[in-house]
Amino acid sequence: MKCIITRRAQFSASHRYWLPELSEAENQQKFGPTSRSPGHGHNYVLFVYMEGELDEYGMVLNLSEVKHVIKSEVTSQLDFSFLNEAWPEFQQTLPTTEHIAQAIWKRLSPHLPLVRIQLYEHPELWADYLGEGMEAYLTISTHFSAAHRLARPDLSFEENCEIYGKCARPHGHGHNYHLEVTVKGQIDPRTGMIADLAAVQKAIDEHVVEPFDHTFLNKDIPYFAEVVPTAENIAVHIRELLQQPIRETGAKLHKVKLIESPNNACEVYCTEPNEAATSSQQREAILASV
């Protein structure tokens, strides 16, 4: 029987987004504050996902050995380092979160049965790499606060209460919605980026956070005048709002996850028409394995 196991590790390091072939003004325009000398730092959190058969001792791998491999091949080399100079590949391609995840995969894959590398730059930004060439995933986490009422306009109050319970009460109720937007793309061999991160953040803010924040969704967002704003419908609408703006950043929207409360969340994927179903399903299963 196959299982996926996870090992967590962490390291603290600094990096700088700077290309010597560009002028100072061009670097500033391209990378913003991240181009400043001598760089900036993060407390990185790494999750290593491995798959294998259970052995006679009830383990996929000996975690003590896994810990040793991760430490010797990755964290001992990157901890308290300046990433741009830590590994040779970071001198050719900038050490963005997505490129660091890919580089870690290459260091660990000869030793461990990897299915996924997930690297958090901070709690609101992380990358996933699944070993598929130059393709990687980047997730931005944000939030908005809004109220809603769950009720179909064609049903009576009693009928709505039967379906939606307390959520059908006339004055509605509110949530602090937690939103995670995952984009995918090819890692640029020079910048290390799958998309312009600032542009992705701007698209999310302009098309979702600003319009949705501190609203009564049923009344303030035209789409929900006829569509019941369940967490599922909100996530679907956010997906539709973001697909084109995200495409304009150079990446593709992969997934929208909306956490309505600690007890209630949903996620919707964006399937590319020309993408093989089997490959897509495998990636989605791995990405949803947390």
What distance in Å separates the CA atoms of residue 19 and residue 35, rounded to the nearest whole number? 9
Asked if residue 189 has a cis previous peptide bond (ω within 30° of 0), the answer is no
Helical residues (DSSP H) of 178-276, grouped into ranges: 197-204, 210-212, 217-220, 231-247
Please give the positions annotated as active site. 167, 214, 260
Phi then psi for residue 42, to 5 deg, are -145, 155
Helix (H) or strand (E) holding 103: helix 97-108
DSSP-derived secondary structure letter, 162: H
* 8 A C-beta contact, residue 194 and residue 188: yes
Query: CA end-to-end span of the chain, whole Å?
Result: 19
190 CB contacts (<8 Å, ≥6 apart)? 19, 92, 93, 94
- Cα distances from 121 to residues 103, 124, 214, 277, in angstroms, run 15, 8, 29, 31
Neighbours of 136 (CB within 10 A): 28
DSSP-derived secondary structure letter, 61: S
Helix (H) or strand (E) holding 91: helix 89-92
Neighbours of 74 (CB within 10 A): 21
